[in-house]
Amino acid sequence: MAWPPGRAAALSSAARPARKPDFPHNPLAAECRRGKGVATTRVLRRLREQDWLAASIELVIVVLGILLALKVSNWNQDRVDREHGARLVARLQAELASDRASMDEAIAFWKQVGAYGQSAMAHSESGALVANDAWKTVLAYYQASQLYPFELEDTTFLEMRDTGGLALIADETLRKRIADYYRMGGAGLRANILYHRPEYRQEIRGLTPWRVQEYIWSSCFHQGKGPSQVLIDCASPVDAADAARLLETYRASPTLLPRLREWMSTMKISAIVVEGMRGDAEALAGALDAKP
């Protein structure tokens, strides 16, 4: 079927994709670019006509147009970088606040576990019972083996490190403080201290009957959100004689008490380290707040 010439032209025009405008997000730069093309044509015409003064003027106009377009483009990129940097800093602040909360929780948990450990050591050394109760003393031995898996929130820092986002923070000293905070907490000496795998934990669980352990996990322990844990003072699942015999098993082990002492020392050092890290997190958050 043949289309009339006018109809064919209309269809051909409609089928052609519309040309995308230059610099759609930068109208001023686009205008400069269009002007540059016109001015370049004028310069060439002036040169052919050997009108040197007019050609020089037109050349200056072309150069100024190019410089202005570059200036506008750079200004726009600087604005985008500033906004992205501000979002990253806000995320760092939120993660530092989360770190401080986790540190407070870890220190409080270790103090509670340490109190159980002191009661267990007292019994192992002298036979003293917790509140004159054999079951409470058994529970102290077991709860003294609990761990708190402590880790820093480092998602934003890793993103900044891997994508070059650290460069968006102009202050070199502040960049170094950020890197040092996460280096010390993530894979340095502090991380080694905070990696807990106490032998006491494995031994006390090997000595404690499984039915007693099942009861402790179901009635004397609660797992909260994330690493949060609640250690509960629960009633005894065994009679006093069975609890007393279990305590004698604990005291008879030649390695349990030394391992408990080592674990108590590790927790103490860990609490000192985390208290120092909390101060670092507080200071870094303050420095980020003060960043212009």
**CB contact set of 181 (below 8 Å; sequence gap of 6+):** 280, 281, 284
Distance of alpha carbon 178 from alpha carbon 207, whole angstroms: 45
The reported pLDDT for the residue numbered 141 is 98
Residue 120 has pLDDT above 50, yes or no: yes
CB contact set of 69 (below 8 Å; sequence gap of 6+): 29, 32, 33, 36
Residue 23 φ/ψ region, left for φ over 0, alpha for ψ in the -120 to 50 degree band, beta for the rest: left
Q: Give residue 146's Cα distance to chain centre.
A: 25
Is the pLDDT at 75 greater than 60? The verdict is: yes
Tens of pLDDT along 184-238?
Answer: 665 556 667 778 899 999 999 999 999 999 999 999 999 998 889 999 999 999 9
How far is the CA of 9 from the CAs of 1, 2, 17, 18, 19, in angstroms? 15, 12, 14, 15, 18
